[in-house]
Amino acid sequence: MPSSRHVTVRVDLARVRANAAAVRQAAGVPLIAVVKADAYGLGGAAVAKAVAELVDAFYVFDVAEAVAYGLRWTGKRTIAVHGEGVHADDHRELNVRPAVWSVEAAARLAPARPVLSVDTGQQRFGVPVGDAATIDAILRAGRIDEAYTHASTAAQAAAFAAALRGTVRTLHAAGSALLGDPAARLDAVRPGLALYRGAVRVSAPLVEATDTVGPAGYTGFRAARHGVLLAGYSNGLAAGPCAVNGRRTVLPEVGMQSAFVDLAPGDRPGDEVVLLGDGITEDDLARAWRTTPHEALIRACGMGRRSYVGFDLE
Ligand SMILES: *Cc1c(COP(=O)(O)O)cnc(C)c1O
């Protein structure tokens, strides 16, 4: 989706660092930072630099992401789920540990210290937790000392731990949803969203503000006063909450490249409409857009030009 030239996406790297420190402190175990998908839209390279000293490892979807975000320069290991065609030597060179869930891949990638991926319910990218014989064969073929599962419930994390405990040194299961569950923490936690919450502010100026006369827009929405900003559904925006001059309000109608805002009497052209941040959370957008906070965040990050505050990236 193209971004709008009129939208500003400001990423607060101090907030990402504070989130990482808080997660690490509360969990009491090593932190593996999930920076896949360009760190959910915040920028993989910038986020990796900002949190490198606070984390024990990174997690990405594929090896190309580890290269794109410069993760080898952080000095921390990276786990990558996919690396088709990437040789074990190249994994080692990049300090990337490939996830494996077959005996063949484990044997081929053994020199790169592969990590076992166990399926506890997702039914993709993992060896079934109940298949003890195959798990054992993979562990031996890859000389494996680390395993993980993509658990969405504490019961899945427990099944994983029960199957692998005592066989593999380092086990991890908990993403953001399970951080609050001590039983799911195991030997490390592996969140993405929890690192990014509250760190992004997305805004656009009002280009018009006027008292409303009768029904307005395509939908005939009614308001006392309304304004317009220059981003629309072609940029990923949808109807929902926003904030203007510290007051929570709504976008009653969103068009292709512009959106209407319900305004208060004092609101003027040039005032900022905050689409994410200033009290509008990823969860607020997710509810309005009928999706997950993960998707709401990455969509909002893609709406405009990204800039950074709170950490010196040089
Ligand atoms: C994306 C992902 C995570 C992080 O999930 P959040 O809900 O953002 O914390 C953790 N583990 C795996 C395997 C993932 O793919």
pLDDT at 314 over 90: no
CA of 31 to the centre of ligand 1 (A): 12
User: Could you give the angle at the alpha carbon of 151 between the alpha carbons of 145 and 153, nearest 5°?
Assistant: 135
* pLDDT per residue as tens digits for the range 20-69: 999 999 999 999 999 999 999 999 999 999 999 999 999 999 999 999 99
In which band, very low, low, confident or very high, does the pLDDT at 211 lie, cut at 50, 70 and 90? very high
179 CA: nearest ligand 1 atom: 9
**For the sheet containing 247-251, what is the strand order?**
247-251, 240-244, 272-276, 200-205, 8-12, 305-309
Please report the atom of ligand 1 found closest to the CA of residue 190.
10
**Cβ atoms of 48 and 61 closer than 8 Å:** no
Amino acid at 41: G
- The pTM of the full predicted model, rounded to 2 decimals, is 0.97
- Nearest Cα neighbor of 58 from 43, 80, 42, 38 is 80
Q: Which of 31, 59, 62 to mutate to test the pocket of ligand 1 (most atoms within 8 A of CB)?
A: 59
State the average pLDDT over residues 146-164: 97
Residue 149 pLDDT grade (very low, low, confident, very high; cuts 50, 70, 90)? very high
Residue 61's pLDDT is 98
pLDDT class for 102, splitting at 50, 70, 90? very high
